[in-house]
Structure 1
Amino acid sequence: MKDLDNYILEHIDEEDPVLQELDRETHLKVLGARMLSGNLQGQVLTMLSKMIQPEKILEVGTFTGYSAICLAKGLTETGKLITIEVDDELEYLSARYFEKAGLAGKIEQRIGPALQIIPEIDETFDLVFLDANKREYIDYYNLIFEKVRSGGYIIADNTLWSNKVLQKPSPDDTQTKGIIAFNNTVKTDSRVEKVILPLRDGMTIIRKK
């Protein structure tokens, strides 16, 4: 599998130097660096965003800003991305890289709990990316659904959750329970079309009818 991963990375576009630098600094300085999207997933997010050509993007879960930069590359000339992160200690790092990427004017950072911030946002979005607290995925989905235009997209990360979705979760494994519940909710939601890509930890692409 490692050989296949290397082959894929050798046959796609090279990683943006700013994103390379962000990846290195995240791994050096931030706990949980594996949460960073990385080159393959980042390129998929950029490609999807460029295909959609969104005017407005909402990201739930900034971390150090890698995925926000990737998504923002597909924004229209006047477009804007709002990204929400609960950890205020990461705000400076991500803001610095938004500046380095030349995207500071297109990305608006909101710091605090997403469940409090999302209801305060009076925008209609073409694209939403969910990559925050897995226990709250259903809550995010319900809060953002009416803020997504018809024909708009929701992308949810980590929806295979290290293949734990195939097993019965332990009583205290609330994150796996959250992902399973989210997947089941989306599966039975007739308002959307959906597909799960087995990319890294699973990525669900949802289109609102």
Structure 2
Amino acid sequence: MEFLKQELEDYVNAHTSNESDTLAELNRQTHIKVLQPRMLSGHLQGRTLSMFSKMIRPKRILEIGTYTGYSAICLAEGLDEDGMLLTLDVNYELEDMVNEYINKAGYSNKIKMIVGDAMEIVPTLDLDFDLVFIDADKTNYSNYYDLLIKDLPSGSIIIADNVLWSGKVIAPTKKNDKDTEALKIFNQKIQDDPRVENVLMPIRDGLMVIRKK
């Protein structure tokens, strides 16, 4: 995921607003205690998500893929006063850690976590979301999108993470590399969908920002 020279990345981070103390602690604890800490959004991407949310001022946010809750807290920073964020994750082992830091961040009344399979949960939801963040299993990105796009309101925003996949999306797909192939298909699906407009932003591992027309 190192698309910038380290010196330039350091400069970018030095000229980006700081994460909160709670987020900094969560960042550290994720790296210490949890497998695959590179899955965490981190400083730059977290501030980007927070900025998007503050510009949109959503009343309802859906997040698919909670991990340790860092991105959920960042997105919640821009919620409308009476807003709510629903975050879904299949990993029950992280639920206590997620809720601990949601409480520390002061969002226990604004963020609700549901543990379970998003492919089963999303069809049961009222999809009146202003903002959706997808950061879960890559092989289901297109499936999540298909579940959402028909019923999301006009003007809603979907942001999908990891769409550059460490640059693998521009290389020939290796045999049995299902994640890379799925992301290539997803990126092209978005590009070809006349219902939306989109920008692929090379922030960290790539954010696909999608606006429903």
| Alpha-carbon separation, structure 2, partners of 1:206 and 1:100 | 31
Identity among equivalent pairs (%): 50
Other-structure match for 2:53: 49
TM-score computed with the length of structure 2 as normaliser = 0.96
State the AA in 1 paired with 2:164. Answer: L
How far off its partner does 1:147 sit?
A: 3.5
How do residues 50-199 of structure 1 correspond to structure 2 at under 5 angstroms?
A: 50-199=54-203
State the AA in 1 paired with 2:193. Answer: D
| Alpha-carbon separation, structure 1, partners of 2:154 and 2:46 | 25
Q: Is the 8 A contact 1:125 1:147 kept in 2?
A: no
- CA deviations 1:83-116 (Å, max 9, x no partner) are 0001000111011000000001100101011101
Other-structure match for 1:17: 21
How do residues 32-43 of structure 1 correspond to structure 2 at under 5 angstroms?
A: 32-43=36-47
Structure 1 stretches of 5 or more lacking a match? none
TM-score computed with the length of structure 1 as normaliser = 0.98
| Alpha-carbon separation, structure 1, partners of 2:180 and 2:193 | 20
| Alpha-carbon separation, structure 2, partners of 1:71 and 1:26 | 18
| Alpha-carbon separation, structure 1, partners of 2:16 and 2:129 | 29
- Secondary structure of the residue aligned to 1:124 is coil
Q: Is the 8 A contact 1:63 1:85 kept in 2?
A: yes
Aligned pairs, how many? 209
How far off its partner does 1:14 sit?
A: 1.4
- Secondary structure of the residue aligned to 2:175 is coil
Query: Please, what is the CA RMSD of the aligned residues?
Result: 0.7
Q: Is the 8 A contact 1:127 1:148 kept in 2?
A: no
| Alpha-carbon separation, structure 2, partners of 1:14 and 1:168 | 38
Q: Is the 8 A contact 2:62 2:132 kept in 1?
A: yes
- Secondary structure of the residue aligned to 1:207 is strand
| Alpha-carbon separation, structure 2, partners of 1:88 and 1:168 | 35
| Alpha-carbon separation, structure 2, partners of 1:163 and 1:140 | 22
State the AA in 2 paired with 1:152. Answer: S
Residues 1:123 and 1:184: Cα distance change in structure 2 (over 3 Å): closer
How far off its partner does 1:8 sit?
A: 1.1
How far off its partner does 1:143 sit?
A: 0.6
How far off its partner does 1:56 sit?
A: 0.4
How far off its partner does 1:171 sit?
A: 2.5
Relative to structure 2, which stretch is displaced further, 135-144 or 115-124? 115-124
Q: Is the 8 A contact 2:89 2:116 kept in 1?
A: yes
- CA deviations 1:36-64 (Å, max 9, x no partner) are 00010000000000001100000000000
